[in-house]
C-alpha cells in the first residue's frame, strides 16, 4: 500500500487550510462573531489530528534523509548507528503513512452526532426480553465509561424484568462514530433461569443505532401526520392512568408509526414521539441517498431470527464472537459490563481498511 504523490498534495492543502483557520481564530472580527467563531473552531479541531500527524511524518522524512547522508560517512561506527536508526525511522514512516491514509478518508457527517438506540426482543420469548435488558445495561455502562448521557425515550417492560422494546437517546461527542457498527442481530446462548432441565437456549435481540436527527435534517409537514391519543398501560399495571397521555403518530407518506407512553403527560409523550419519528425519517433519507456507497447502513436490523446475527454471546464458554470480523474474546462478563472498546476498535479498523481499499480502487480508476 504505497504512499502516492496525490496523498501528499492533499495533505499540503489540509495543512494550508489549518494555518488559515489558525489565523482566523485570532482575528478580532471573527472572535466577535460567536456563530462564525464556533464554526471555524470546529473545523480547526477536526483538522488538528491530521495536521499533527502530517507534521510528525515530515519530521521523520527529514530524519531519514539525514541518516542516509550519514551512511556515506567514512566513520564506520557512525554509519552503523545510522543504519540501525534508519530501520526504526522507516517503520515509523510506514505506520504514519497508514494512519494518514485513514485520516484522509471521507468523514461520515454523522460521526459526531448523538444516537437513538433501539433494542427489541426477537426470537426467544421471555429469554430474549431478558437479554434485551442485558444489552441495554451493556450500552449504558459503556456510555458511562465514555462520559455520555443516556436518556430513556420509551420502554415496553415485561413482568420478569426484561424489555420487549426500549428506545434511548445517548448524548455525547462521537457516540455515533463508536456505536454505529452495533446495528444488527445479537444472539445469546445460555441456560435460562426458568429452564429446569439445564438446556442451553438460543435467543436473538435486534439492535438499531441511528444518528439523532436535528430539525434541519428532515422536514415534517403537519398535514402528513395522523396523531392519536390513548390511555397508557404497561406490564403489571405500570404506567396506567386515567388520562389519554399516550401518543401514537403515523407519518402518512412513509407509513412509519411511533408510539410513546413513557412520560406522564401527553405533551411530553408527543415531543418524544416526534423526536423518534424525526430520527427514523432521517435514517430513511440516509438509506435512500447512500445505499450504493454505504451498503452496511442499508438495513439496520434483520427480522430477529436466530440465523441472522452479527455477534454471539455464549455464556457456558464465557465467549463473545463478532462474526463480521471473526473476533472472539473470552471475557463475556466484562463485555456485558460495558468493556466494548476491544470489539469496537477492531470493527472500526476493519471497516476503515475496507473503505481505504475501495477509495484506492476509485482513485486508480480516475
**Are 187 and 329 members of one domain?**
yes
Query: Parallel, antiparallel, or unpaired: how do β-strands 184-190 and 115-121 relate?
Result: unpaired
Distance CA 230, CA 214 (A): 28
**Among candidates 189, 159, 183, which has minimal Cα distance to 314?**
189
**Among candidates 280, 124, 118, 105, which has minimal Cα distance to 202?**
124
Asked if residue 212 lies in contact with residue 114, where contact means CB atoms within 8 angstroms, the answer is yes
User: Is pLDDT at 117 greater than 80 in this prediction?
Assistant: yes
Distance CA 343, CA 35 (A): 38
CA atoms within 13 A on the CB side of 85: 18
The neighbour count for residue 151, using CB atoms within 10 Å, is: 10
**Are 305 and 204 members of one domain?**
yes
User: Is pLDDT at 333 greater than 70 in this prediction?
Assistant: yes
**pLDDT mean over 107-116:** 86
Length of the chain in residues, anyone? 366
> In total, how many domains does the chain have?
3
Would you state the pLDDT for residue 297? 37
Cα Rg of the chain, angstroms: 26
Q: Which of 6-20, 212-226, 297-311 has the lowest mean pLDDT?
A: 297-311
Would you state the pLDDT for residue 79? 80
Asked if residue 291 lies in contact with residue 298, where contact means CB atoms within 8 angstroms, the answer is yes
**Domain extent for 258:** 222-288
pLDDT tens string 60-97: 999 999 888 887 766 778 888 888 889 999 999 999 98
Q: Is 83 among the domain residues?
A: yes
Phi (first) and psi of residue 278, to 5 degrees: -60, -45
**Are 179 and 233 members of one domain?**
no
Say which residues have a Cβ less than 8 Å from residue 31's Cβ, sequence separation at least 6. Answer: 25, 37
**Among candidates 128, 139, 110, 113, which has minimal Cα distance to 185?**
128
**Among candidates 154, 166, 169, 178, which has minimal Cα distance to 115?**
169
**Are 182 and 302 members of one domain?**
yes
**Are 140 and 204 members of one domain?**
yes
**pLDDT mean over 258-265:** 85
User: Is pLDDT at 340 greater than 70 in this prediction?
Assistant: yes
Query: Parallel, antiparallel, or unpaired: how do β-strands 311-314 and 319-322 relate?
Result: antiparallel
**Are 177 and 31 members of one domain?**
no
**Are 95 and 131 members of one domain?**
no
The CA-based dihedral angle spanning residues 111, 286, 154, 195, taken in that order and rounded to the nearest 10 degrees: -90
**Are 258 and 313 members of one domain?**
no
Phi (first) and psi of residue 153, to 5 degrees: -95, -40
Using DSSP's 3-state secondary structure scheme, residue 59 falls into: helix
Q: Is 136 among the domain residues?
A: yes
Q: Which of 241, 258, 288 is the last residue before a domain boundary?
A: 288
pTM confidence score: 0.71
pLDDT tens string 151-197: 998 899 998 889 999 999 999 988 999 999 999 999 999 988 766 66
Which of 27-36, 273-282, 292-301, 312-321 has the largest mean confidence? 312-321
Amino acid at each position: 500500500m504505497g504512499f502516492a504523490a496525490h496523498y501528499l498534495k492533499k495533505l499540503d492543502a489540509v495543512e494550508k487550510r489549518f494555518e488559515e483557520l489558525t489565523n482566523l481564530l485570532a482575528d478580532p472580527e471573527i472572535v466577535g462573531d460567536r456563530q462564525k467563531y464556533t464554526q471555524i473552531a470546529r473545523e480547526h479541531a477536526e483538522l488538528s489530528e491530521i495536521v499533527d500527524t502530517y507534521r510528525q511524518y515530515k519530521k521523520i522524512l527529514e530524519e531519514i534523509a539525514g541518516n542516509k547522508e550519514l551512511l556515506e560517512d567514512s566513520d564506520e561506527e557512525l554509519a552503523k548507528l545510522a543504519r540501525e536508526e534508519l530501520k526504526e525511522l522507516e517503520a515509523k514512516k510506514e505506520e504514519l503513512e497508514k494512519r494518514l491514509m485513514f485520516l484522509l478518508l471521507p468523514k461520515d457527517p454523522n460521526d459526531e452526532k448523538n444516537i437513538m438506540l433501539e433494542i427489541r426482543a426477537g426470537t426467544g420469548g421471555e429469554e430474549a426480553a431478558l437479554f434485551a435488558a442485558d444489552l441495554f445495561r451493556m450500552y449504558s455502562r459503556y456510555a458511562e465509561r465514555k462520559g455520555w448521557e443516556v436518556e430513556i425515550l420509551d420502554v415496553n417492560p415485561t413482568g420478569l424484568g426484561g424489555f420487549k422494546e426500549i428506545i434511548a437517546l445517548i448524548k455525547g461527542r462521537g457516540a455515533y462514530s463508536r456505536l454505529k457498527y452495533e446495528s444488527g442481530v445479537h444472539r445469546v446462548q445460555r441456560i435460562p433461569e426458568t429452564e429446569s432441565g439445564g438446556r442451553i437456549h438460543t435467543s436473538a435481540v435486534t439492535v438499531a443505532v441511528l444518528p439523532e436527527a436535528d430539525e434541519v435534517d428532515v422536514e415534517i409537514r403537519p398535514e402528513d401526520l395522523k396523531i392519536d391519543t390513548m390511555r397508557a398501560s404497561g406490564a403489571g399495571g405500570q404506567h396506567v392512568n386515567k388520562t389519554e397521555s399516550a401518543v401514537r403518530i403515523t407519518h402518512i407518506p412513509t407509513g412509519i408509526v411511533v408510539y410513546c407512553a413513557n412520560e406522564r403527560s401527553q405533551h411530553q409523550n408527543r415531543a418524544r414521539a416526534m423526536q423518534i419519528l424525526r430520527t427514523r425519517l432521517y435514517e430513511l433519507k440516509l438509506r435512500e441517498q447512500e445505499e450504493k456507497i454505504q451498503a452496511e447502513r442499508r438495513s439496520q436490523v434483520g427480522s430477529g431470527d436466530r440465523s441472522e446475527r452479527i455477534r454471539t454471546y455464549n455464556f457456558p464458554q464465557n465467549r463473545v464472537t463478532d462474526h463480521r470480523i471473526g473476533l472472539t474474546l473470552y471475557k463475556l462478563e466484562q463485555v456485558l459490563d460495558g468493556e466494548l472498546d476491544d470489539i469496537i476498535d477492531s470493527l472500526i479498523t476493519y471497516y476503515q481498511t475496507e473503505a481505504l481499499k475501495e477509495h484506492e480502487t476509485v482513485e486508480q480508476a480516475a
